[in-house]
Amino acid sequence: MDKNLLGKIQITGIIECLTGLHIGASNENVEIGAIDAPVVRDPITREPYIPGSSLKGKMRSLLEKALAAELGIVGKTNRRNIGTRNNEVWVHVCEKAEDALKCPICRLFGSTGKEGGKNFPARLIVRDAHLTKESVEKLSEIDTGLQYTEWKFENAIDRVTSAANPRQLERVPKGAEFEFELIYNVEETTTLEKDIKNIRLALELIKLDALGGHGSRGYGKVDIKIENIKGIPVEAIKSDANKIKEFKSFEQINELFTVFKS
Ligand SMILES: [Zn+2]
């Protein structure tokens, strides 16, 4: 599908952990005798980070729940199992690109067409969120035996045998801050306002939900602080940097939309 690009909207800010955060790494690369459930880390710096895919996945699923009634997404209707047969995970995906264009979920997060159908590329890019410099310094000073993180015993009870199964969960401590960046591709102006409002809604919903694993045990409560929203029309990228408009919050977004409507 050919698409026009009118410009970009860049949203940046800080994700602050209000409780310990656990975004799990795959256990495959963990040494024997190490922690049971490690957090995902940058392979070079060894610093824990929030993968863009985790943040994007959470935004998508919370927005899907919030808009489900409006979009007629009920049970398995308009949903696809992206999990396995034993561990089903049903998410909404439009099967046709022309439907995706009209769908607030697929427009932002993309859809993959089924059996020869066309993919609809996401308008939203969610980058990996890395620790701020201050957080790296602060976390370097704490002594837990782990680099930048802490660990906590969680007692999981086997539902069949009632046997306790204590596991060590690694987590990023409360107070840690990550820098996040979202890029929205402005392709047309009729759905622009709605899309940005839904991005804002998804971020608000995360604050009332949790990031990463073990949210029901209190993990992953975060605050999301917007620091800058930048409207970058294509002319600004090509030649005239003066056309870039910057805003400090979503409250000012009405003026943001005019940047692309001239
Ligand atoms: Zn859709």
CA dist 22 and 151 (Å) reads 10
Distance between Cα 95 and ligand 1 center (Å): 8
User: What is the model's pLDDT at position 228?
Assistant: 97
Distance between Cα 94 and ligand 1 center (Å): 4
Distance between Cα 82 and ligand 1 center (Å): 15
Nearest-CA neighbor of 119 among 137, 104, 106?
Answer: 106
Distance between Cα 191 and ligand 1 center (Å): 14
User: What is the model's pLDDT at position 255?
Assistant: 86
CA dihedral 59, 96, 196, 79 (to 10 degrees): -30
Question: Residue ranges of the chain with pLDDT lower than 50?
Answer: 32
Distance between Cα 117 and ligand 1 center (Å): 14
DSSP-based helix, strand, coil % in the chain, nearest 5: 30, 30, 40
- The whole-model pTM stands at 0.90
Distance between Cα 77 and ligand 1 center (Å): 12
Distance between Cα 100 and ligand 1 center (Å): 5
Token digits of residue 207: 């604050």
- Ligand 1 (ion): residues with CB under 5 Å are 94, 103, 105-106
Distance between Cα 67 and ligand 1 center (Å): 11
Between β-strands 7-17 and 177-186, what pairing exists: parallel, antiparallel or unpaired?
antiparallel
User: What is the model's pLDDT at position 132?
Assistant: 98
* C-beta separation of 206 from 222 below 8 A: yes
CA dist 81 and 61 (Å) reads 13
* C-beta separation of 12 from 180 below 8 A: yes
Distance between Cα 60 and ligand 1 center (Å): 11
Distance between Cα 99 and ligand 1 center (Å): 7
Distance between Cα 145 and ligand 1 center (Å): 46
* C-beta separation of 107 from 194 below 8 A: no
